[in-house]
Amino acid sequence: MRISEVARSIGLPISTIRYYEQIGIITDEYVLRDQNNYRVYTSDIIHHLNVVKHCLAVGFSIGDIRSGIFNP
């Protein structure tokens, strides 16, 4: 999936997905590179980001998620 497809499916801005990748919430296991070196996300990214969104909704902070308290 391209980043725009992920953003549309999950209801997050592309900038948020990129930020999550920068800070390590989205790890390399979810991101591949195509022949043009564009990011291509595995289908598991949808579940991963849904869990992240749920954790944020119930009160976990980005710092909690990032530090490993949360591990989907």
Read off the CATH number of the domain in which 16 is found. Answer: 1.10.1660.10
In which domain, by residue range, is 32 found? 3-67
Q: 32 - beta bridge partners?
A: 40
Tell me, yes or no, whether 34 lies in a domain: yes
C-alpha 51: how far from its chain's center?
10
**pLDDT tens readout for residues 15-34:** 999 999 999 999 999 999 88
**Is residue 8 one of the residues assigned to a domain?**
yes
Query: In total, how many domains does the chain have?
Result: 1
Look up the pTM and report it.
0.85
Is 48 part of any domain?
A: yes
Residue ranges of the alpha helices (H) in the chain?
A: 3-10, 14-23, 44-57, 62-67
Which residues, given as ranges, of the chain have pLDDT below 70?
69-72
